Amino acid sequence: MATVTIKQVEKDYMLGKTSVPALRGVNLTIEAGEFLTLAGSSGSGKSTLLNLIGCLDQPTRGEVWIGDAQVSNLKEKQLNFIRSTMIGFIFQSYNLIPVLNVYENIEFPLLIHKDVSAEERKARVTYFMDAVGLTSQAQKKPSELSGGQRQRVAVARALVTKPSIVLADEPTANLDSKTGIETIELMQEINRKEGTTFIFSTHDPKVMQRADRIIYLEDGMIKQEEQE
Ligand SMILES: Nc1ncnc2c1ncn2[C@@H]1O[C@H](COP(=O)(O)OP(=O)(O)OP(=O)(O)O)[C@@H](O)[C@H]1O
């Protein structure tokens, strides 16, 4: 089954009284387990599309489906449920909590999942902290880590709730090229192992080449697509 279906999606932002078209008729189907990137120059609509898939915003026209739910029809409570159970987010600026250590940052999104026992929580945090190679840094605060290590904490934090989709808006933008590619390779390894769908955006051609499918956006439309 398709994990994400985008049908004739348009998104306009209002800038004062002027309407700015950010997406202009996008159609896209993403299957479960894909490792896909959104490419395109600044302003082409990558973040807007990721925000719609992440249920952080609603399209002006058209439909966004996550699994079998059309998200534009859902109330805030149902959107919250989808966001917290089906989707993991990784941000350009990591968004870690400075006062929490590595272990606690990874654990944090699980604390609202009352159905996950303390034992299961510990097992999951331990598993994903190991998967991103940070077990030896468990007690460190984000300020004591390198950029690449911080982004690995963010990857583990996005995965700990076992979402079916992970969204990453320019996850390598603040990393040097080598660390950026290592981060993408880590995401790819998890994609292969866990079957999690990854959708990320990038400007960097070296990073984009690591994806199995590249969707090129231009002026709010899909211009071209490449598949490995
Ligand atoms: N909140 C907003 N209000 C008004 N216009 C916006 C808003 N967010 C985005 N836009 C406009 O929508 C268009 C698409 O922006 P978007 O951020 O989706 O592009 P992007 O490809 O992610 O760019 P970048 O690579 O710089 O992040 C741009 O013209 C942008 O200026």
How many C-beta neighbours within 10 Å does residue 107 have? 21
Q: Are 129 and 102 in contact (CB under 8 A)?
A: yes
Could you tell me the two tokens for 121? 């929580």
CB distance 15 to ligand 1 below 6 Å: yes
β-strand pairing of 165-169 with 61-66: unpaired
Instruction: Note the pLDDT of residue 206.
Output: 86
Let me know: does 181 contact 211? Beta carbons within 8 Å: no
Maximum separation of any 2 CA atoms in the chain, in Å: 53
CATH of range 2-227; options 3.20.20.70, 1.50.10.100, 3.40.50.300, 3.50.50.60: 3.40.50.300
Q: What is the ipTM of this complex?
A: 0.96
Say what the pLDDT of residue 1 is. 63
DSSP strand pairing (165-169 vs 87-90): parallel
Mind listing the pLDDT tens digit for each residue in 174-216? 888 888 898 899 899 999 998 999 999 998 888 899 999 999 9
Residues whose CB is less than 8 angstroms from the CB of residue 143 and which lie 6 or more positions away in sequence, other chains included? 98
Q: What is the pLDDT of residues 15-55, one digit of tens each?
A: 999 999 999 999 999 999 999 999 999 999 999 999 999 99
- pLDDT tens track for 134-171: 999 999 999 999 999 999 999 999 999 999 999 999 99
Ligand 1 in reach of 45 Cβ (< 6 A): yes
pLDDT of residue 107: 97
Q: Which two tokens stand for residue 56?
A: 């952080």
Q: How confident is the model at residue 116 (pLDDT cuts 50, 70, 90)?
A: very high
Task: Give kind and range of the element (H or E) at residue 37.
Answer: strand 35-39
Instruction: Tell which one of 46, 201, 217 to mutate to probe ligand 1, the residue whose CB is within 8 A of the most ligand atoms.
Output: 46
Q: Is 40 in the pocket of ligand 1 (CB under 6 A)?
A: yes
Query: How big is the CA angle at 191 (ends 169 and 5), to the nearest 5 degrees?
Result: 60
* Residue 2: per-residue pLDDT: 73
